[in-house]
Structure 1
Amino acid sequence: MPFFCFVESSLVGLQYMQPLDADFIDDARGEAAGLLRHHERAYAAHIFADDEFVATIRAADIASS
């Protein structure tokens, strides 16, 4: 099942959807967390399986772990 990640950022026009390499939701969560760490102004990553929403990861949540 293909996973996609919609990254939200505080920079106008920087929101984007990116395909993930993950085959399983736990791997998709890890990739999404990596995207949040990589993009300094990103504050949330929303994971979709095909067109179905499955999870949101917030930068504040991974910063405190």
Structure 2
Amino acid sequence: MIGIGGIATAEDALEFIIAGAAAVQIGTAGFVHPDAALRVVEGLEDFCRREGLANLAQLRGSLQL
């Protein structure tokens, strides 16, 4: 699954990844902020470092309802 729609921050991307997305797409945010994709990637890297994760695959699909 690929997460698409409303992704402008690392937090947005994390929501999709936790829900099961293997990838995310950044579209409109790139028009508003040309460096949006870089910001998201850097934010995801920072999150992984803070949480002691080797990679985002450890989070994929971890949502529990």
Same fold (TM over 0.5): no
Give the structure-2-normalised TM-score. Answer: 0.31
Determine which structure has the larger strand proportion and give its number: 1
TM-score of the superposition, structure 1-length normalised? 0.31
Structure with larger RCO (C-alpha < 8 A, sep 6+): 2
Pick the structure with more helix per residue: 2
